[in-house]
Structures are given as structure tokens and as C-alpha cells.
Amino acid sequence: MNNSIAGDFTCQPFRRPAEGYISSGYGPRNGGFHFGIDIANHGTSVPVYAAFAGVVSRSQSMGGYGEAITIKHREDTVETLYAHLSRRLVSPGEVVSPGQLIGYTGTTGDSTGIHLHFEVHEPSWNSSRSNAKNPLPLISDETTSPICWDGLMMNKGQIGRITILKPINLWRRDATNKLELERILNQGEVYRVYSYDELYGGQYGLGGRLYVTKMDGYIKYETPGQKRLDELKRIYP
């Protein structure tokens, strides 16, 4: 179990991939399944932007998708797809930033009008689209946005975080609260904290019965401020 919080995707800067309205959502549609969302803009062609930073993995004609682009993000843990484009402005291997112009909406491939078809896959796209995820939760103005703290997503029940300053033991408490060494945590690692109690001179709970002892000079504990904690409780009652 890796409690390191360095790998969160949802708090990366996100750019809505096109201006417009959601003309069709993710889910069952016409006896089939719609593996993405459609963003339309009253039949006009509009710019298409990279949703996150990444590396272009495809820029080509892709059957029913028409002219399409795929981009890999976060060390190949997520891939986004932009379909039915009228123009493609990037090539495979190109590094893009969030919000970078990559093309224009169109109606190429199996499409009945000008719109962007946008898909999110974890970790990557395949032709059966078995890794598809609903992109809507990533579009912050469409649903409850995650609580981000210094660019990292906060989890339900989190009260703070610790940064490891010097190597220190990660303990697991057994059923009788006896400590067993889980592993050594290394300098620079960051972990979410869910609790604090006075056992063993004071320990921070990292979830899953894992604890780190409060030791000056070995860890730095920080909290995000009451506003974020209140918001977290509102989202995860």
C-alpha cells in the first residue's frame, strides 16, 4: 500500500477542452454506450485545447472518430481523446501544456454536427474503450470539484499532511495497538494525515492502521486551514 500523495491527477491544472455546452453526456445512448462527452457550440467550429499537460500520442484519422488526437498525461496513467476535429495542429511526440490549442472542432467521422467528442481513459485508450472514465467530474464547473491543497487532492477524512525530513519508521498498529514496523519513509515523501492521538508520545494516522510518531526534526506536519477542512466535510459528509 503506497500512501504517497505525489501522484494525484485530479488537481492538475485542467482546461475545459472546448467552449460550449454538453450536448451529450457519458453513458448508455441509443442502445449503445457513449464513451465520452460531446461539447457543442451552436454548430460553429471552436478551438480545441489540451485538457492537461501531456505528450501527444496520436494525431490522425481514426475511423468513426474522424480526425482525432490523443494525449497521454501523468507518465502514461491517463489518456485523453479529442474527436471529429476539422483541423489537427499537433503531431505525435509533441509536448503540450494545459490549455494549449491543438485543433478545431468539426464533424469528421461518424458525427451529425460540429462538436467535440472528448474521452478520458485510465491508463490508456484502446479500441474496445474498456478503460473509459466519465470526463465530467474533471470539468470543475459541471460538478463538485475536488478540494485541492497546493495542487494535491484532499481525501475524505483528511486533516493534514506530513513531509518526511529525515528517514523515519512507518508503524502498523495491530489489533491490540502493538507496533509493527511497516517500512522506512524517506526524505521528501509526503503523506496524507487522517488522525492524531497521544499513543506512543503522539502519532499521526496515515490511514489503514499506519502511523508515524511525532518526532521534531524528522517530519513536518501541516494543515490546510479551516476553510478547506470545512469544504471537505461538505463534500464528504
For 10, which DSSP code? T
Looking at the Cβ atoms of 38 and 182, the one nearer to Zn ion is 38
The distance between the two most distant Cα atoms of the chain, rounded to a whole number of Å, is: 66
Nearest distance from C-beta of residue 10 to Zn ion, angstroms: 22
Query: To the nearest whole angstrom, how small is the minimum distance from the Cβ of residue 115 to Zn ion?
Result: 7
| 118 or 204: CB nearest Zn ion | 118
Nearest alpha carbon to residue 154 among 52, 73, 75, 227: 227
Q: Count the alpha carbons within 13 Å of 48 in the hemisphere toward its beta carbon.
A: 31
- Cβ proximity to Zn ion, 116 vs 164, nearer residue: 116
Which residues lie near Zn ion (CB under 5 A)?
Answer: 38, 117
Nearest distance in Å: CB 45, Zn ion = 16
Write 142-145 long-range contacts (CB < 8 A, 24+). Answer: 142/22, 144/235
In three-state secondary structure terms, 65 is helix
* CA angle, residues 178, 184, 189, in degrees to nearest 5: 120
Nearer to Zn ion, 58 or 117 (CB): 117
Place of cell 518526511: 164
Q: So which residues are the catalytic ones?
A: 115
